[in-house]
Structures are given as C-alpha cells and as structure tokens.
Amino acid sequence: MIKVGDTYAHKWMFKQEDVDTFARITGDNNPIHIDAEFAAKTIFGRPIVHGFFSGAIFSKVFGTLFPGEGTIYLYQDMKFMAPVYVDRPYVAKFEVLEVNTEKHIGSIKCILEEEGGKVCVEGMAKLKNNVQFI
C-alpha cells in the first residue's frame, strides 16, 4: 500500500540508439536530437534527449515499478529545466503528496535529475491504482 510521504527513486541512462528510435516513432526528427554535427553548433554543444522522451521515464516507473502494474495515468505536467544528454546517469525521484483512498488516486511529485542533483525535468502526476492506493 502506498501512502502520503512515500518516496521512490530509479536510476536511468538514455542511449542515443533509443533517442533515434523515439525520433523515428514520433516523427520528431529535429536535428538537435539526432545530428551530432548540427547539435555541436547549438548552445547545448551536443545532441539532447527529446523532452517527452526524458519524461517518459516517469511512465516506465509508474507502469512497472511504483505503483506498478494496473496503474492508470490520469494527469501529468512537466517543466523542462535543463537539457538531458545520452550516456549520463540520471535518477528519477518520486514523492507521494496526496492519496484519495476512496477513488484509489495518488498525486505524485516527479523529478528527473542528474546524478549530481541538478533538476532537469520536474512535474506532477495523478495516477489511479486500485491495489496500491487503498
């Protein structure tokens, strides 16, 4: 059972191959994500991970780990605070802020940060899980 105040963390590293696949699937072929020569001339100096792909780590965790199977996404907002790069360690952090046990809904703060603590993506999610939010 998940309750207010519970936290969870998940380490992750994005790979360029996965960024390229995301670009193919979504059609977002912006060269800032997939062309190292182009990206080298930008303020980032190298390719950056798509914002929505970097935030997709939240979906991975919610659907498979915390709360896990049976979770239904109801809402997600995200602020993109800093670039996310491939082949760097990141940690997705979660904190349960509110639980409605009657409706089995939880509000969870989501953060993706570099291993050193710099926040890259932050947001809030509302999830329904009939087993965990009781």
Domain that includes residue 18, residue range:
7-128
* Residue 133 domain-assigned (yes or no): no
CATH number at residue 21: 3.10.129.10
User: d(Cα 70, Cα 73) in Å, to the nearest integer?
Assistant: 10
- Asked if residue 2 belongs to a domain, the reply is no
Q: Of the candidates 84, 99, 81, 91, which has an alpha carbon nearest to the alpha carbon of residue 115?
A: 91
Per-residue tens of pLDDT for the chain, all 134 residues: 999 999 999 999 999 999 999 999 999 999 999 999 999 999 999 999 999 999 999 999 999 999 999 999 999 999 999 999 999 999 999 999 999 999 999 999 999 999 889 999 999 999 999 999 99
pLDDT at 133: 97
Asked whether residue 27 is domain-assigned, the answer is yes
Residue 19 included in any domain: yes
Instruction: Reduce the secondary structure of the chain to three states and give it as a string.
Output: CCCCCCEEEEEEECCHHHHHHHHHHHCCCCHHHHCHHHHHCCCCCCCCCCHHHHHHHHHHHHHHCCCCCCCEEEEEEEEECCCCCCCCEEEEEEEEEEEECCCCEEEEEEEEEECCCCEEEEEEEEEECCCCCC
Asked if the structure places residue 37 within a domain, the reply is yes
pLDDT of residue 115: 87
Total structural domains within the chain = 1
134 is a domain residue: no
